[in-house]
Amino acid sequence: MTDPHEAPNVLPDPRISIVLATFNERENILDTIASIFEHLGDQVEVIVVDDDSPDGTWHLAQDLNHPRVKVIRRVGTRGLASAFNRGILESRGEIVGWMDADMCMPPDMLPGMIEQLSKYDVVVGSRYAPGGKDDRVFLRVAASRLINRLATLVLGYGIRDYDSGFVVVRRSVFDKVSLIPTGYGAYFMEFLYDCRRKGLAVLEVPYTFRDRQKGISKSAPSLWRFLRTGMQYVIRIFVARLRKQD
């Protein structure tokens, strides 16, 4: 018989929260979650924010029934930046990170990135820092490098991979900087720019970004969407730079 005075078996709050924003990642989600736990163990929670994927990504994650996996299924709402923002708001760790769920960003980088938070406020997985590599098709690499060079020129601070989207931060960062929860990848440029503008220390850690092996890219399913996304990046770079300094 259970002692009524015995404390319930409740897991302690996680030290680390990793947020995954998903849409039609059925082929990758379980591998990504498993790899995060493999490299971070019991100290991590994984928050999956899914935009009601037709392929049932949210259902697969939910069926894990894992005490450290939280699934948020958003119906009628879509958007990468707003999904990450929702996950951050729901997170509990003193360290918060977010990344793609398609295994292009290697979870085995996370322990080393987190270790660097003893000296930095924000640690970014960088394709374009010395030693990093972007291993996608030529057109996508060329476009990404062009946008990042423009961002480095306009926004400054020497950041090479302004739209990385692979990051860990101290929770205290959100006392000074918030995500602007609109759009696709350009939100991250604004986030890093605001971090440096507020005097936060940012480190770029090189890694090799490998093109997805399973599933279809969300950013370039057509030439038109590819070009439109690129123009949105350019506009937001200049908007961030011209925004009134506070």
Is 4 a member of any domain? no
Q: State the pLDDT at residue 12.
A: 82
For residue 21, the cross-strand partners are 49
Q: Which domain holds residue 75?
A: 16-242
57 domain residue, yes or no: yes
- Does residue 10 lie in a domain region? no
Q: Can you tell me whether residue 237 is helix, strand or coil?
A: helix
For CA atoms 58, 60, 64, 69, the dihedral sign is: negative
The whole-number pLDDT of residue 213 equals 64
Hey, what are 163's tokens?
């739209």
pLDDT of residue 4: 40
The count of structural domains within the chain is: 1
Give the model's pLDDT for residue 245: 53
Contacts of 91 (CB under 8 A, 6+ apart): 17, 19, 45, 47
Does 133 fall in a domain? yes
Spatial separation of the C-alpha atoms in residues 117 and 14, rounded to whole Å:
16
Task: Answer yes or no: are the C-beta atoms of 16 and 42 closer than 8 Å.
Answer: no
Assess if residue 7 is contained within a domain: no
CA 33 from centroid of its chain's CA atoms: 14
> Rounded to whole angstroms, how far apart are CA atoms 152 and 189?
10
Does 8 reside within a domain?
A: no
Please check whether residue 216 lies inside any domain of the structure.
Answer: yes
Q: Residue written as tokens 């080393």?
A: 112
CA 166/CA 183 separation, integer angstroms: 16
- Helix and strand element counts for the chain (H, E): 7, 9
Residue 206 belongs to a domain with what CATH number? 3.90.550.10
What pLDDT is attached to residue 1?
Answer: 36
Q: Write out the two tokens for 173.
A: 């960062």
Chunked mean pLDDT (size 10), the chain, 246 residues:
43 92 95 97 96 96 95 94 96 97 94 98 97 90 91 95 96 95 88 96 96 59 64 87 67
CB 220 within 8 A of CB 140: yes
Question: What's the pLDDT at 3?
Answer: 44
Give the per-residue pLDDT at 199: 96
43, exposed or middle or buried, with CB in 10 Å at 0-12, 13-18, 19+? middle
Does residue 2 form part of some domain?
no
